[in-house]
């Protein structure tokens, strides 16, 4: 047996001591990062120093317990800089006497020990009722086809736990949690075939990957808003007195199933693992029923503002990318910039942009005061393309581009767990591209 003692939660880079615990006739522990050996320890304490590099990129860290002859006894895997919120949920299928799944049981834990404020469980996109003990009845399904069971839990003040499992198809009544959700962008006029028709469309190291399912579910937008809602209202609404209160509320709605969350510009530390970590607050989910994008940007204070000098814009965008990818939905991150903001981030925008590229989350950067001022020109150098939202028509045009991006995306579920940045289009792919960090 081997297990990680050091858990690398959140976003992390650099060199860290990684501790594991072992049992049995273990003569050495070998650490592998993304398939390459990066360290070996031959006596307790079983601690190896692993260099993750200067960038924040997804990694697969494997610890292998070896016997005296160098044969692997056991191994354990930890995925780094991929969705691993400080709360986790497990999904267990419970079968009847004939081995057919009849119910699902959820087991969860959170870093702060609180109970979930909401639980959403879906089977093939359809909601299931979950009782107080975390139990849900499963409707009869054809086990010759693959079915995806997705659990989403929300813990106050803003922690999420997500788990996707599959059963049926090649798995029968067993559960496989080894799935990778890859967002692809379908070009106008093109369409994705059913999963069997996707053979050869996606590859890993030249090897074709099997697609288990294709989904077109709700979109998820994580917003990092730097100017206050009042500042946005004063800038955009004050010059449009002809519009009524309801006009402001109803304009620029996203899709009826799309969801929006705001992410804090400052963090709170927690030390559940041996590596210090931080938690950026998330607002509750907002939908079209709560109003259009202008209304959401200007009308509410969802999170406490950061203290002077503690505003971390780039770091918040990186965390927003992690949260967007955690949902395994169609996704985007929106950064709204105002005047001459100060940024106390640890990572610079170039590193953050590379991270969003690696996890396939498109980034929209909006400037409240236009793209021509000196601040916007500086942001263009840092963030790439900056969109002008200095008037309501310009904001509406930016929202339409956001909606078009979400509408073009589909989620392809691939068999096995893979590093997202290692997946490429195969020779059979037509009319699609893998979603990038640039819309």
CB contact set of 95 (below 8 Å; sequence gap of 6+): 101, 102, 173
Residues 6+ apart with CB under 8 A from 234: none
> CA dihedral in degrees (81, 85, 90, 91; nearest 10)?
-90
Average pLDDT of the residues in 3-12? 76
**Structure tokens of 69?**
């002859």
Q: Backbone phi, then psi, for 311, in 5-degree steps?
A: -75, 120
Cβ atoms of 118 and 153 closer than 8 Å: yes
State residue 97's pLDDT score.
76
Residue 346 pLDDT greater than 70, yes or no: yes
Mean pLDDT over 50-78 rounds to 94
299 in helix, strand or coil?
Answer: helix
User: Of 80, 6, 9, which is closest to residue 270 (Cα–Cα)?
Assistant: 9
In this predicted structure, the answer to whether residue 271 has a pLDDT above a threshold of 70 is: no
Statement: residue 156 has pLDDT above 90: no
In angstroms, rounded to a whole number, what is the distance separating the alpha carbons of residues 101 and 122? 15
pLDDT at 341: 74
d(CA 213, CA 147): 8
The radius of gyration of the chain from alpha carbons, rounded to an integer in Å, stands at: 23
The DSSP bridge pattern shows strands 72-80 and 87-95 to be unpaired
Looking at residue 273, its pLDDT comes to 45
Edge-to-edge, what's the strand order for the sheet holding 135-137? 87-95, 101-110, 135-137
Comparing 13-22, 198-207, 216-225, the range with the smallest average pLDDT is 13-22
DSSP annotation string for 179-201? EEEEEEEEPTT--PPPGGGGTTT
Residue 345 has pLDDT above 80, yes or no: yes
> Is the separation of the CB atoms in 387 and 438 below 8 Å?
no
Does the structure show a pLDDT above 60 at 434?
yes
Share above pLDDT 90 across residues of the chain, in percent, rounded to a whole number: 54
Angstrom distances, CA of residue 380 to CA of 296, 362, 373: 25, 16, 11
Provide mean pLDDT across the span 32-56. Answer: 95
User: What average pLDDT does range 215-226 have in this prediction?
Assistant: 94
Residue 78, C-beta contacts closer than 8 angstroms, at least 6 positions apart: 4, 7, 8, 60, 61, 62, 63
Q: Strand (E) positions, 129-271?
A: 135-137, 146-155, 159-168, 179-186, 202-204, 207-208, 211-215, 219-225, 259-270
pTM for the full predicted model: 0.79
Torsion of CA 155, 156, 159, 161, to 10 degrees: 0
Backbone angles phi, psi at 63, to 5 degrees: -110, 125
DSSP tag of 156: T
Question: Which residue in 261, 273, 280 sits closest to 157, CA to CA?
Answer: 280
Determine the pLDDT at residue 78. Answer: 87
- Tell me the two tokens of residue 306: 């950061």
Q: Domains in the chain, start-ordered, CATH in brackets?
A: 2-80 (2.60.40.10), 83-177 (2.60.40.10), 219-410 (3.40.50)
pLDDT at 110 over 70: no
Quick check: 279 pLDDT over 70?
A: yes
Report DSSP state, residue 286.
B
């Amino acid at each position: 047996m081997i297990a990680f003692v050091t858990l690398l939660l959140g976003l992390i880079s650099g060199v860290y001591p990684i501790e594991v615990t072992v049992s049995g006739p273990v003569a050495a522990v070998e650490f592998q990062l993304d398939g390459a050996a990066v360290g070996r320890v031959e006596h307790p304490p079983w601690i190896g120093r692993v260099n993750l590099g200067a960038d924040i990129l997804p990694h697969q860290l494997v610890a292998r317990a070896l016997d005296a002859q160098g044969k692997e006894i056991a191994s354990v895997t930890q995925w780094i800089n991929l969705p691993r919120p400080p709360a986790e949920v497990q999904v267990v299928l419970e079968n009847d006497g004939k081995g057919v799944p009849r119910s699902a049981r959820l087991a969860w834990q959170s870093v702060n020990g609180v109970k979930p404020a909401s639980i959403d469980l879906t089977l093939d996109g359809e909601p299931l009722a979950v009782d107080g003990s975390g139990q849900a009845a499963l409707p009869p399904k054809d086990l010759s086809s693959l079915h995806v069971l997705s659990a989403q839990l929300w813990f106050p003040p803003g922690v999420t736990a997500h788990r996707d499992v599959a059963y049926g198809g090649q798995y029968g009544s067993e559960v496989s949690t080894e799935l990778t959700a890859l967002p692809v962008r379908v070009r106008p006029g093109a369409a994705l075939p059913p999963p069997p028709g996707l053979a050869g469309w996606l590859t890993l190291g030249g090897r074709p990957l099997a697609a288990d399912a294709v989904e077109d579910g709700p979109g998820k937008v994580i917003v990092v808003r730097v100017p206050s809602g009042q500042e946005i209202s004063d800038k955009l609404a004050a010059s449009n007195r002809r519009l009524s209160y309801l006009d402001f509320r109803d304009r620029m709605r996203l899709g009826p199933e799309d969801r929006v969350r705001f992410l804090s510009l400052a963090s709170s530390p927690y030390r559940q693992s041996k590596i210090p970590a931080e938690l950026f607050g998330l607002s509750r989910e907002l939908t079209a029923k709560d109003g259009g994008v202008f209304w959401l940007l200007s009308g509410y204070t969802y999170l406490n503002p950061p203290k002077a000098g503690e505003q971390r814009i780039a770091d918040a965008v990186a965390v927003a990318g992690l949260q967007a990818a955690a949902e395994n939905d169609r996704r985007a991150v929106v950064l709204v910039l105002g005047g001459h903001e100060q940024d106390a981030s640890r990572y610079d925008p170039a590193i953050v942009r590379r991270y969003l590229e690696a996890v396939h989350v498109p980034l929209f950067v909006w400037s409240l005061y236009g793209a021509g001022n000196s601040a916007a020109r500086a942001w263009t150098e840092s963030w790439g393309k900056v969109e002008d939202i200095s008037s309501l028509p310009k904001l509406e045009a930016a929202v339409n581009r956001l909606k078009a991006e979400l509408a073009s995306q589909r989620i392809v579920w691939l068999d096995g767990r893979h590093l997202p940045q290692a997946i490429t289009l195969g020779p059979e792919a037509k009319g699609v591209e893998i979603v990038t960090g640039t819309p």
